[in-house]
Amino acid sequence: MANKLIVSLSPHAHGTDSVEKNMYGVIIALLPALIVSFIYFGLGSAIVCCTSVLACVFFEWAITKFILKRERNTICDGSAILTGLLLGFNLSSNLPIWIILIGALVAIGIGKMTFGGLGCNPFNPALVGRAFLLVSFPVQMTTWPVPGQIGINGYIDAETGATPLAIMKEAIKSGDASVLSKLPDSLSLALGNSGNFGAGSLGEVCALALIIGGIYMIVRKIITWHIPVSILLTVFVFSGLMHLANPIYASPVDVLLSGGLMLGAIFMATDYVTSPMTKKGQLIYGVSIGVLTVAIRYFGAYPEGMSFAILIMNAFTPLINNYCKPKRYGEVVK
């Protein structure tokens, strides 16, 4: 018989979803923020992002081929590009290339491939890279160029400034609420054009662009609302209570719009691999990240708490998965 019959178990149909669609979907969602970063940081942003992406893809390819010796290389699935892009978003736009390369190697090498590659890593690789750089190169990692320097000078010899979070921290340390008056107004924070006191990593300055990306991902069903909304709501409530109790703590709206909160809540905490599997678990995870972020920002050594909060909760994800089960059919009789 010329024609053969193909035999397999059901189901014989498959939806159109794929790993690539999800990964590239997130990358598309990052585009508004990427474009904004080009507008504010110009060449510096382009150098940092390109280096980070290319380095991540290269390291994944090299490790898969030469160390793991796997036949199938996974660089086309978009996950390495995504890690590179997210790592770049967390860096300052004047970071020397060699530091970025180290960050990419740690992110992909230690953060991802050590555990077996895509799907196996317990911690968000981009954040592992960032955390490593932050403790290894504290000076370079905490000088932030102010937005608006788009030429080559913006990369080589940028004028740096204070981030909104540094101002908030200063207010808390000095116990003087008037320091907060240096903060840009909320609209500038949302748009990112907040001048000398609106510095920050190249991906985090424009909250609005990140929110647009988040809405895109929810509409395309790449992520669900549970993690970002629970984080943002918790931060809003917690910092709002702090603000009411003592005006040296900034207003909750400013807290939401500054620093890596939006980037973290929408793009980093929602990383599939390192976040819980059930809706209930995701809410617990989101609320915990929110509480930890505000706690680190207000009471910790660093002005920024988002990335550490996410990394800490990444560690709790297996535990959350163990205890949070979905609502089983039959449990809700009537």
Residues 6+ apart with CB under 8 A from 322: none
- 72 burial (CB, 10 Å; 0-12 / 13-18 / 19+) is exposed
In the region spanning residues 190 to 229, those forming contacts with another protein, defined by CB under 8 A, are 224
- Is 334 a binding residue for another protein by CB under 8 A? The answer is yes
Structure tokens at 262: 């939006």
Residues 6+ apart with CB under 8 A from 298: 172, 239, 242, 249
Options 208, 212, 273, 291; binder of another protein; rule CB under 8 A: 273
261 close to 227: Cβ distance less than 8 angstroms? no
In the region spanning residues 3 to 32, those forming contacts with another protein, defined by CB under 8 A, are 3-15, 17-19, 21-22
269 close to 227: Cβ distance less than 8 angstroms? yes
139 vs 332 by CB, closer to another protein = 332
Residues 6+ apart with CB under 8 A from 1: none
Options 67, 68, 119, 323; binder of another protein; rule CB under 8 A: 119
SS3 at position 161: strand
Residues 6+ apart with CB under 8 A from 202: 37, 40, 41, 44, 45, 48, 49, 88, 89, 91, 92, 93
- Is 65 a binding residue for another protein by CB under 8 A? The answer is no
- Is 151 a binding residue for another protein by CB under 8 A? The answer is no
- Is 332 a binding residue for another protein by CB under 8 A? The answer is yes
User: Per CB under 8 A, which region of 91-99, 118-126, 192-200, 288-296 contacts another protein?
Assistant: 118-126
204 vs 271 by CB, closer to another protein = 271
CB of 2 to another protein, least distance (A): 9
- DSSP string for residues in 178-198: GGGGGSPPHHHHHHS--GGG-
182 vs 279 by CB, closer to another protein = 279
- Is 181 a binding residue for another protein by CB under 8 A? The answer is no
Q: What is the spatial distance between Cα 202 and Cα 173, in angstroms, rounded to a whole number? A: 26
Total site size for another protein, rule CB under 8 A: 44
216 vs 298 by CB, closer to another protein = 216
Options 272, 291, 300, 312; binder of another protein; rule CB under 8 A: 272
Q: Facing residues of 145 across strands?
A: 160
- Is 135 a binding residue for another protein by CB under 8 A? The answer is no
CB of 81 to another protein, least distance (A): 15
Residues that bind another protein (CB under 8 A): 3-15, 17-19, 21-22, 74, 77, 79, 117-120, 224, 272-273, 275-279, 321, 325-334
